[in-house]
Structure 1
Amino acid sequence: LTIITLVFMFYIPEPPKAEPKKLAAKPQVQLLQQPVIRETLVYIAVAQMVILLIQPILSLYVAELSHGDGNIMFLSGVAFSLVGVASAITAPSWGRFGQEHGFYKALCAATLLSGLMSTLVALPRTLLLFCVCNFCYGLCCAGIQPSLSAVLASNTTTDQRGRVFGFMFSAQQFGSMVGPLLGGAIATYAPLQSLFVVAGVILFAISVSVWLRHGHEQNIIA
């Protein structure tokens, strides 16, 4: 974080500030009054919650699959990082797909495929197959957050972008708070692999909701 701060301070020039506008707080109220903005923020919070749902039990689940052999913490780190590696590989492709076909369609496809892969992650009983499925899950979920960000950007004016991405960050942090808490609560009373099924069902629900409400919209950013 310190390095990032120094880079921003010394290597990234700040664009010229626009003239201050009167009633600067008014657009912020209008922003939250837009149904599409509120709905997208809810999707963002829920998607982030799903991503972090398995975080509390991952080490326990890896230990269960590996039967306690090997460095459990290292293996857990590898298993968790595979999602990030896979997401980094396919994120540009998801962005290109959304640009060409519409970000609502990209969001539907990403959540549908992620829901399917999350459910399949619960099936393997060996660590290797679990890691393979987790990697495939990362390939799919890479399209969720970029599509949601693009929907927000396409429904706001330039002078509102800073506010709307601030709201997006707040929604993500709310999801980050609820996800581990919910995951820990479910794992207390249900088998560990049930968390992957719960995550899959939630992602399926998001996909169906988005398709029913916005499946006909292009929502392409020029």
Structure 2
Amino acid sequence: MKAQTPTWKKNLFILSIAVFIAGIAFSEIMPFLPLYVDSLGHFSHQELNFWSGLVFSGVFFVSAFISPLWGKLADKKGRKLMTLRAALGMAIVIALMGLVTNVWQLFILRMAQGIFAGFVSNSNALVATETPKEKSGQAMGTMTSAFTAGNLLGPFVGGALASIFSYRIPFLITGILLLICFFLSLFFVHEDNFQPSQNQQLTSSKGIIHSLKSPALIFGLLLTTMIIQAANNSINPIVSLYLRQLMPGSSNVVFVSGVIAALPGIATFLVAARFGALGDRIGTQKIIVGGLIAASIFFCLTAFVQNSFQLGILRFMVGFSDACLFPQVQTMLTKNTPIEVTGRIFSWNQSAMYIGNIFGPLLGSTISAFWGYSAVFLVTTAIVLLNLLLFKINVLRNLS
């Protein structure tokens, strides 16, 4: 008689499909979002860069403050409820973005999206808490690969839809994709082993910190997450505009933007699992250090590209460094966090991501408005090097 498949494996299978779909949904609108902003009014160069950064940051500003509240609720009521809340809420809000008539409406909806954000992080938290500890690295690697694969396809899908139809259609498609994620989670994900913690000390942040074996290690990892996200997202709002500068007069900017936006995902998808396995052998922290060094080199070189081909190569190389960073930080958090507070630790990590996502686009758009696009990559290089220094001080010291 064939043994029944464990619930954690079923959850991993379904949620890996769901985050793959969510990856497509979230990334398909990113390549042309600044161009969509440009279509909603008549903006000067500085105004366009300002609004692009503001629209990128709106969702993250709200989410940075709201995520810990959702994390606390997840530890009390279950992570599945949080995945349902996030998927359905974002499906509605993002679909409405395709109907806006001015940039203010788009900005307000991006802020509203932040209230419902967190589908992927809560899916990761559910998998982390339901999966046996000895399988956590494998499970988190699978989730990361699935989401990265979705991010890989999303820019192609979004760029093609925007080129064939209009900028508005991908927002409606995104809403449908997230609705599919909602129904997958509703009918096929089971949180059988969830039990609310009876420890009253774990209801407060102070109690959670006391429950950690090494609080300094956890907060060092959260700081690393924040700076990684700030560095990566200082570039995202200006990539398509930078490309338009490198391809003056070209009619293929939208499509090429989609291709270039997908290139880091291709590289990450190819090597993320292998870097994870290597980290299990030699130490995850060594993989993170290597990723920070590589990222600083690639970002610096990008400031001096002369054409879209050179930009594409370096963006592809950035994908290799990305595979060494955020997925590995999540792995370290999973292995160093008690299961009773995983939801809140992951929500804190999500808030750290969002804080980085807030300041990154604003930093990138401000620098590009006054000093040009190349300056953004040089400043990002400095941020990555600062991250490397802080990681070695705050994290590696607590592992020794």
TM-score, structure 1 as length reference: 0.89
Deviations 1:37-63 (A, max 9, x none): 222212111111111111221122101
Question: Following TM superposition, by how much is the alpha carbon of 1:179 offset from its aligned partner in structure 2, in angstroms?
Answer: 1.1
Question: Following TM superposition, by how much is the alpha carbon of 1:199 offset from its aligned partner in structure 2, in angstroms?
Answer: 1.3
Question: Following TM superposition, by how much is the alpha carbon of 1:151 offset from its aligned partner in structure 2, in angstroms?
Answer: 2.1
Give me the CA root mean square deviation.
Answer: 2.0
Q: What secondary structure does 1:124 align onto? A: coil
Runs of 4+ in 1 over 3 A off after TM superposition: 24-28, 30-33, 212-219
In 2, Cα distance between equivalents of 1:24 and 1:11: 33
Q: 1:128 aligns with which of 299, 302, 309?
A: 309
Superposed counterparts of 1:46-57, under 5 Å: 46-57=227-238
Alignment correspondent of 1:161: 342
In 2, Cα distance between equivalents of 1:125 and 1:136: 17
Gaps of 5+ in 1: none
1:66 aligns with 2:247: yes
In 2, Cα distance between equivalents of 1:180 and 1:26: 34
Alignment correspondent of 1:205: 386
Question: Following TM superposition, by how much is the alpha carbon of 1:209 offset from its aligned partner in structure 2, in angstroms?
Answer: 2.6
In 1, Cα distance between equivalents of 2:357 and 2:217: 22
TM-score, structure 2 as length reference: 0.51
Question: Following TM superposition, by how much is the alpha carbon of 1:213 offset from its aligned partner in structure 2, in angstroms?
Answer: 4.3
Alignment correspondent of 2:357: 176
Question: Following TM superposition, by how much is the alpha carbon of 1:27 offset from its aligned partner in structure 2, in angstroms?
Answer: 6.0
- Equivalent position amino acid for 1:14 in 2: E
| Rg (Cα) greater in structure | 2
In 1, Cα distance between equivalents of 2:338 and 2:202: 15
> Are 2:216 and 2:395, in contact at CA under 8 Å, matched by a contact in 1?
no
Q: 1:2 aligns with which of 179, 185, 199?
A: 179
> Are 1:105 and 1:215, in contact at CA under 8 Å, matched by a contact in 2?
no
Question: Following TM superposition, by how much is the alpha carbon of 1:85 offset from its aligned partner in structure 2, in angstroms?
Answer: 1.7
Pick which of 52-61 and 23-32 moved more: 23-32
Question: Following TM superposition, by how much is the alpha carbon of 1:127 offset from its aligned partner in structure 2, in angstroms?
Answer: 0.7
**Higher relative contact order, chain-length normalized (CA < 8 Å, sep 6+):** 1
> Are 1:94 and 1:142, in contact at CA under 8 Å, matched by a contact in 2?
yes
Q: What secondary structure does 1:193 align onto? A: helix
Pick which of 207-216 and 43-52 moved more: 207-216
Q: Give the number of aligned pairs.
A: 219
Distance 1:20 1:141, change over 3 A: closer
Question: Following TM superposition, by how much is the alpha carbon of 1:99 offset from its aligned partner in structure 2, in angstroms?
Answer: 1.2
- Equivalent position amino acid for 2:180 in 1: I
Q: What secondary structure does 2:200 align onto? A: coil
Query: As a proportion of its length, which structure holds more helix?
Result: 2
In 1, Cα distance between equivalents of 2:396 and 2:386: 14
